[in-house]
Structure 1
């Protein structure tokens, strides 16, 4: 599980819902192709993304350059959630009909109920409100610049940009395989809902996302799970009013349902990670307590570089988490392994 955090909020139960949309997949594709620092860690290779972008029309390339500079993919995602359009034309009409302040309000990130009035003021031209939002997000990697861009934007030009990049990306990249993409998203939601009948809300989120241990927080009544193929293997996290959103990577099974014999990548990784005596010993120790690298080195009488290598494998398999130098076993992930194996065998 990889997590790309685009929220600025700090961490009661919640309900889980699903939504799949070709428009959300479009917006996420625009985000993916313009997030060049992450191309080395995506399922598609860096060369793939580079070649893709070079073969797009000059108009779309220019629009994507603007996205990369100002992170307007975030605007597209937010707008998709504020108005659930069934098709591209409906989405374009929605954008065109928005009043200036409403467009800016929808575009600005949700930062919690306590900052909603400031967000509203910023969208209506209050410079102090804009500065306040920028200050509140100063530790975020792109929110301050994005907030300033939205507040200072000429909305007529912004609308033209949003409609252009969404239309051209859909026509040139998504539309040729739209039916296949929709079928993949539908299959994945169906499988997750089936599994959800056996799990708590927290367990379902963890299983669907491949390892995110999300606990309820104030003002969040719902977790929305949105399947996506384009950004695999990353999860993308976002906030909306009363809602936490995870755009999670669809499973291999959803992509190739007729292939009964190829197991999911993470299922293989988990069993491989446990197929080693030293790593099993490490898991045993972490069942008993959280451990540091130094503690594991002493307990197993192995070198730090060797222990670090084994921990890297366990983390890649989503069996272990690390925070501030302390390693924790994801016990629920071990529990899921039996169910995942049985699902594979029953396929």
Structure 2
């Protein structure tokens, strides 16, 4: 059997690195417990997650409800992608010292190279770019 090579691009090599962090585990746990669509795909039943929610303090539950309503768990993951944080203190220092516009840019999800200019402008506070990003994510969920 003959194989035709129809592209002129060189073969690409990918390198995968796995790392472990309690910060990642925590962010993913927050994502799991605050995303009802995701709960159905996990090994544990929804009852398990309900029991956890019933066992935590009202203050923590209020924070988790805020995360759920605003999808801020996604922002946690975006920030964690920026660098390897040794611990929570280093993470909070980074968040508290980074430029506000850069933090907004990091927290806005990448939805494609064609939308990067809107992401940059949205981070600067341009409302029409925010609307463009919202529309783009609504069109391609």
Structure 1 and Structure 2 fold alike (TM over 0.5): yes
Cα distance change of structure 1 residues 37 and 113 upon mapping to structure 2, 3 Å threshold: closer
Structure-2 residue corresponding to 1:201? none
1:22 maps onto 2:13 in alignment: no
- CA displacement 1:156-201 (0-9 Å, x = unmatched): xxxxxxxxxxxxxxxxxxxxxxxxxxxxxxxxxxxxxxxxxxxxxx
**Residue 27 of structure 2 is aligned to residue 66 of structure 1:** no
The reply on whether 1:33 has 2:33 as its aligned counterpart is yes
Aligned pairs for 1:105-116 within 5 A = 105-116=105-116
Q: Which runs of 5+ in 2 are unaligned?
A: 1-10
Shift of 1:39: 2.7
1:44 positional shift:
1.3
Cα contact 1:40–1:46 (8 A) shared by 2: yes
1:98 paired with 2:98, answer: yes
Whole-angstrom distance in 2 between the partners of 1:97 and 1:140: 34
Q: CA deviation at 1:140?
A: 4.2
Preserved CA contact (<8 Å) 1:75 1:107: yes
How many residue pairs get aligned? The number is 130
Q: Secondary structure at the match of 1:82?
A: coil
Q: Secondary structure at the match of 1:69?
A: helix
Q: Is the CA contact (8 Å cut-off) linking 1:118 and 1:129 kept in structure 2?
A: yes
Distance 2:121 2:41 in 1: 38
Distance, in Å, in 2 between the alignment partners of 1:118 and 1:41 is 32
Counterpart contact for 1:118–1:132, Cα < 8 Å: yes
Q: Secondary structure at the match of 1:84?
A: coil
Moved over 4 A (4+): none
CA distance in 2, matches of 1:130, 1:46: 34
Q: 1:36 to 1:111 in 2, by over 3 A?
A: closer
> How many Å separate the matches in 2 of 1:74 and 1:38?
13
Residue-by-residue CA offset, 1:1-37 (whole Å, 9 max, x unaligned) = xxxxxxxxxxx73332222211111100000011123
TM-aligned CA distance change 1:40 to 1:137, over 3 Å: closer
Residue pair 1:74, 1:107 contacting (<8 A) in 2 also: yes
- Measured in 1, the distance between the counterparts of 2:105 and 2:123 equals 5
Is the counterpart of residue 124 in structure 1 residue 124 in structure 2?
A: yes
Q: Which has the higher contact order (CA 8 A, sep 6+)?
A: 1
Secondary structure of the 1:18 match is: coil
Alpha-carbon RMSD across the aligned residues, in angstroms, is 1.6
Equivalent pair of 1:83/1:94 in contact (CA under 8 Å): no
Q: Indicate yes or no: 2:51 matched with 1:46.
A: no
Corresponding residue for residue 133 of structure 2: 133
SS in 1 for 2:138: coil
Deviation at 1:129, TM superposition (A): 1.2
Where 1:15 maps in the other structure, the secondary structure is: coil
1:226-276 CA-partner distances (Å, limit 9, x unpaired)? xxxxxxxxxxxxxxxxxxxxxxxxxxxxxxxxxxxxxxxxxxxxxxxxxxx
Q: Rg: which structure is higher? A: 1
Match of 1:303 in 2: none
TM-score w.r.t. the length of structure 1 is 0.36
TM-score normalised according to structure 2 size: 0.84
- Structure 2 CA distance, aligned partners of 1:109 and 1:37? 19
